Chains A and B, each alone.
Chain A
Amino acid sequence: MLKIWSMKQQQQQAENAEGAAGKKKKKVTAAQLRVQRDLQELTLGNTMKMAFPDKDDILNFTLTIEPDEGMYKGGSFVFTFAVNQNFPHDPPKVKCTQKIYHPNIDLEGNVCLNILREDWKPVLNLNAVIVGMQFLFLEPNASDPLNKEAAEDLRQNRDMFKRNIRASMGGGSVRGVQFDKVLR
């Protein structure tokens, strides 16, 4: 331990900083700091809104997507985001709060988006996730299905798929499954 402290003192002098003296209080966590920055750098446009049930907790919030084009136009889709203290090493956990008819979202609200799982990297930010989510509504994708029936419909008969979307968004049922009304 001989030299360690004198190394520290030298470093401190070199920096000529005032030093982090005094009683320590709780530090802002690395995850909080990163989310604070990510939030500032979002581009939401007018099809997306966020809500913070507890304004002091920026790690938990909801995102509402209201597509203004594409097959899901007119709907209002609400997702919860839960960011843990291991962010950005871990991706945020995103779930759809409504039961919706979508090939890449299952009836429990799980979302199949590559960057939320296998392709997540700490250099990605919340904006990348939000852009990806928006894209799912513009281009639902039958090759990565979470809702197999919906994917099958999309592949086989695009017109029927569109009709099913409209019916489900109005709170109707598709193949015996009742969906939540998500029309604006």
Chain B
Amino acid sequence: MRISLNWLKRFVKIGVSDQDLIRLIGARLVEVEGVIDETHKYDNIYIVKVESAEKIPDTHLTLCKINVGDKTNLAKVEYEDGLVQVMCGAPNVRAGMFAVWIAPGAVVPASVHEDAPFVIGKRKMLGKYDSYGMLAGADELDFGDDHTGIVEIDPDDAVCGDGLADVYDLRDIILEIENKSLTHRPDCFGMLGFAREVAGILNEKFDYELPHDNLKIGNGVKIEVRDEGICSRYLAMTLTKHGELKKKYLTWTDTILSKSGMRPVDRIVDATNYLMLLTGQPLHAFDYDKFVAVGGGGEPKIVVRLAHEGEKLTLLDGKEVILNGSDIVITSNNVPVALAGAMGGISTAIDENTRNIILEAAVFSLYNLRKTQMVHGIFSEAITRFTKGQPDYQCATVAEDFASLVSDGFRVTGVNESRAHDKKNAAIRIDVEEINSLLGTKYTEKKIAKTLENVGFVVKVKRERLEIEVPAWRTDIHIKEDIIEEIGRLNGYDNIEPTLPRHRTAERNKLWRLESQVRTYLSDFGANEILTYSFVSEKLLRKVGLDNGNSYKIVNSISPELQFVRQTLTPSLLDKAYVNQKLPIDKFAIFEINKVYQKGWGMDDEGVPTERIHLGLVAAERKGVGAAYYRAKHYAERLLRKLNVKADFVPISEKNAMTLPFEPKRAAMMVVNGVSIGVVGEYKNSVRRNFKLEEYLAGFEMDVETLRCVKQEKRVRDKYVVSGRQDVTITTTQDYAVVLKEIENKYPEAEISPVGIYQADGSREKNITFHLEFH
């Protein structure tokens, strides 16, 4: 949403600088995303009178002499009898009209924010005519898209030589407001509501009121709202033409529409849009006669109902939408003519021949409109306001405002409504102490009452207790805390003194700490921690032979690459191993600690999927030789030694998502006291090929929670003097672990470490050498 500060200043007296005002709006009302300074956007642009206009034969050009009033001393301009010569290509240029002249040296306003703003100068045209500056169209002035002619100024509004910016109040600053921060404030989507808040944060009472008569109900079109849940109030005003709407001069309203990000269209549509920007209440105008015709020509009747599934409607922008059962439609005798709250239909659109109007001022269910917005992708200014939950208290007054804006051409013939606004304003009671104890402030009851009254609350004070009546536009205020928020916010949260509450000693989270330790140990071992996405592709799962039926499937994934919640970490690590091998990086060990989910694990006590934290590591070399298995095992053992865990490496006996990628003949399960903590080894050839990885490749995957359970406190032997050393070589056909066990049994006191395993060519037996140290 865009807020013009000049417009704002028409409703509230501002005693601070613009800079302070913007800071206060940011601190106490809403997030200001951007500030557009238009102070100089219309510099050197003047209102002039075209004194003569002489068509140049065989061209579309007109040679004009313009009266620039008292601006007879401009640089880069030559005068002839006090007039300036300018060529104009617009068909509507004529002698006697008041137009807008961009003087030489000025920047075309529409290009001000472009990388290379367009500077107007003196040009020689058709080889002989000097042309100074240009007469501007609405599009060049950034007042819409109209490029059919030059802008015409009402002679009653200005005299020759007036600065355009002075006449139309264009030396302005525009705030770009982050809509999300006003999700709960429908009132602030109208300038009056916004201005009321600004008064509040400046500690001034907002007392701007538009004068209204009580709109009389009678002689209106029949209205039937099928379900009040979708439309709490529908007011329809009929108007009939009694004269031509005033000639289309550039108006101040046009400039407001443009500054607010909308485009001027015609008098009627502009009036509905302007009032929406002013009040937050969207309006829609139907061509009455078309409305009657669409409905079959009989007595007109407005029926508001949910659309039928598959019903079709062509909207104002020419697009046909296929409606669904949650869309709300306005119908003429049951024939859809508008998608309520979103956009009107083309069959009842206002045009230059419109003689009678039905003006709609209504409120629709934000829940239905939210779905409409999503399904049809319509993000109009109207639906943006409705989906914040506009209250229905101002339908009649805004309709009345519309009638007065178009009264030069139309007069009201009838008004009807589905129901009157009859909601009682909410009331809240709160103690001063309740406010101060939540905010940590010492505000007096007087200050609190004033703060609320400034923005339209009615407050009665009874001995430290406030009885508060909430105004109709504050749909967001329901409970005491909402009132506390108002007090804190309007007086400035920044005026609250920061304090520190008491605290105790925190408990240590053992798992979190273990994860941290493991990350540090592994990076100390030259491994690289990586993070990969929690979602993987079906293709990736298939590369390791995993069943995607065991993965939770994302139904609205960004791409097929991110469709399944991962079951284990190994596939993601192998994927990144490929990325790095391609870089190329010769040797690396990458690891990740993260959460994984498998459907097969079912739900936990809370009814949400059981989650496990895994640690995965992959070591890869482009030109490595030998068995990579032992590198991965070494990594696992070094880590486990740090955690004082002694694991046995036993053949894989379980086929599950974790063990599946590994080659059973060259991988092992790591078992501690009968509990499996994970798997280590080389991957199946098929897996390795699927990932296009070089042969030297191995890794492991562990369950971190299990690791925490088996982890032991470290014990140290307190004997450091070595009393003897011995190397022992055993010739054997048995596995290393079996031999090690024998040595351990034989020398229970010794610290045993491996030296090497040697096997001669053609021999069946191998020699295993151990180094023994005695203390």
The reply to whether chain A is a binding partner of chain B is no
Chain A interface residues (CB < 8 Å from chain B): none
Chain B interface residues (CB < 8 Å from chain A): none
